[in-house]
Amino acid sequence: MVGLSVKAVAKLSGVSPHTLRAWERRYLAVEPSRTKTGRRVYSVHDAERLKLLMDLVKNGHSIGNIAKLPDASLRSLTGTHHLVMEAVSSNADTKNFSQGGLLTDLIDALGRFDIEEINKLLSDARQNLSPRTFIVNIIAPMLTEIGGRVERGSFSIAQEHAFSSLLRSQLGHLYFNLNSRITDSKHTIAFATPEGDIHEFGILSSAVLAADAGVRSFYIGPNLPAWEFAEAARLLKADICILGTSGLPLSNRKEGLGPYIQDLLSEMEAPMELWVGGSGNFKMDTLKTSVLIQTISTLEMLVPMLQRLKETDLKSAG
C-alpha cells in the first residue's frame, strides 16, 4: 500500500487539510491508518474517494448525505446533478418573483454579511410564495448550498449561524400562523429530533408543511430523549411521531440511531405511527414492533404523505 501524507492526499483530491479533518471527524468519509507516532497515512483509494466526494459537493450534494455511501453509489451520482443554484426552477408562485434570482440574492447578501438584506429577502419570500415552494424550492437548496460552501471554506461558520438564526425566526412565524388556523384535523403529528441531534430545520420545515396541508402539528424541538418524545406525543394526543435525523453521529450515542429508535418504539403503542426522516441507510425492517414505521428521504416526499392524511380527514367528514 502506498502511504500518503495529509498534504499529499489534499493535493491529489482537491480537499484542503482543514476540510479533510472535518470530513473525517464529523462524517467518517475516510478512515486513514496511523503510524506508530500517530501520524495519519492515506491510501491511493482514499485520495480517489475524497476527490469523488469533493466533485459531488461542488455539484450541490451535501457531504453529510453522501460521505458514507459506497464508491459505486458515489460514481453513479457523478454527472447526474447540476449545481443547486442552477437546478432550482425559476417559476414563481407570483408574477415577477424569481426563485432562481432569490437564491442568488440570498447567497450574495450572506457573502457580504448583510443581515438586514437577508431578513428582508426571506420575509418577502415567505409572504409571496406558498409555504411548500418557500421550503422545498428556496430553503432546502439554500441550506444545502450554504453547507457546501462552509465545507469548502468559502463561507464561515459564523455566516451559517447568522442565516440559521434568521431562518428559524421566519419558519417559526410561518408555522405558528398556519397551525393556529387549523380547527378540523383528525390527525395530529408531533415533531422532534433524537437526543444528541441538534439539527432542527428538517423537522421545523416539516411542521410548516404539515400545517400548510391542514394537519395539526406540534413542534417539540431538537435533542429530545426517546421516552420524553413518546410521553409528549401521548399528552398531545398525537397519532403520528415524526423523528427528524441529520445523518450525523448522535453526540450522546456511540452505537448510533438504531438503539434510540428502538427505545422510542418501546414507549409507543399502535395505532400510533413513527415516520423517520433523513434516516439514511438505517434498515427499519430490522426493528420488531407493532407500530407502523415509514421513512421519509426528502421534504418533497413528505408532501404527498401529508396530503393523503388530509384526504382521509375529508372522506371521514363526508
* Domains (range + CATH), the chain: 6-77 (1.10.1660.10), 85-178 (1.10.1240.10), 182-317 (3.40.50.280)
Q: What is the pLDDT of residues 190-215, one digit of tens each?
A: 999 998 888 888 899 999 999 998 89
Q: Is the predicted pLDDT of residue 1 greater than 50, yes or no?
A: no
Q: Which residues contact 2 (CB under 8 A, 6 or more apart)?
A: 43, 44
Opening angle at CA 237, ends 236 and 241, nearest 5: 85
pLDDT of residue 164: 93
Q: What is the mean pLDDT of the chain?
A: 80
Confidence at 87, pLDDT banded by 50, 70, 90: very low
Q: Is the predicted pLDDT of residue 86 greater than 70, yes or no?
A: no
Other CB atoms within 10 A of residue 73 CB: 11
Q: Looking at the DSSP assignment, which residues form a beta bridge with residue 42?
A: 4
Q: What is the pLDDT of residues 109-141, one digit of tens each?
A: 999 999 999 999 999 888 888 888 889 888 988
In sign, the C-alpha dihedral spanning 64, 67, 68, 74 is positive
Lowest mean pLDDT among 72-81, 104-113, 161-170: 72-81
Range among 50-59, 81-90, 96-105 with highest mean pLDDT value:
50-59
Q: Rounded CA gap, 284 and 259, in Å?
A: 12
283 or 167, which is more confident?
Answer: 167
Q: Is the predicted pLDDT of residue 51 greater than 80, yes or no?
A: yes
pLDDT of residue 221: 92
How far, in Å, are 147, 182, 201, 279 from residue 144 at the CA level?
A: 5, 31, 12, 17
Confidence at 239, pLDDT banded by 50, 70, 90: very high
Share of the chain above pLDDT 90, in %: 25
Confidence at 56, pLDDT banded by 50, 70, 90: confident
Share of the chain above pLDDT 70, in %: 82
pLDDT of residue 203: 92
In sign, the C-alpha dihedral spanning 100, 102, 105, 111 is negative
Q: What is the pTM assigned to this prediction?
A: 0.65
In sign, the C-alpha dihedral spanning 305, 306, 307, 308 is positive
φ, ψ (nearest 5 deg) of residue 214: 90, 20
Closest CA to 282 of 246, 238, 317: 246
Q: Is the predicted pLDDT of residue 318 greater than 70, yes or no?
A: no
pLDDT of residue 60: 67
Q: Is the predicted pLDDT of residue 23 greater than 70, yes or no?
A: yes
> What secondary structure, in 3-state letters, does the chain show?
CCCECHHHHHHHHCCCHHHHHHHHHHHCCCCCEECCCCCEEECHHHHHHHHHHHHHHHCCCCHHHHCCCCHHHHHHHCCCCCCHHHHCCCCCCCCCCCHHHHHHHHHHHHHCCCHHHHHHHHHHHHHHCCHHHHHHHHHHHHHHHHHHHHHHCCCCHHHHHHHHHHHHHHHHHHHHHHHCCCCCCCCEEEEEEECCCCCCHHHHHHHHHHHHCCCEEEEEEEEECHHHHHHHHHHCCCCEEEEECCCCCCCCCCCCHHHHHHHHHHCCCCCCEEEEECCCCCCHHHCCCCCEEEEECCHHHHHHHHHHHHHHHHHHHC
Copy the grid coordinates of residue 89: 426552477
Q: Give the strand pairing for 273-277 and 292-296.
A: parallel
Size of the chain, expressed as the number of residues it contains: 318
Confidence at 240, pLDDT banded by 50, 70, 90: very high
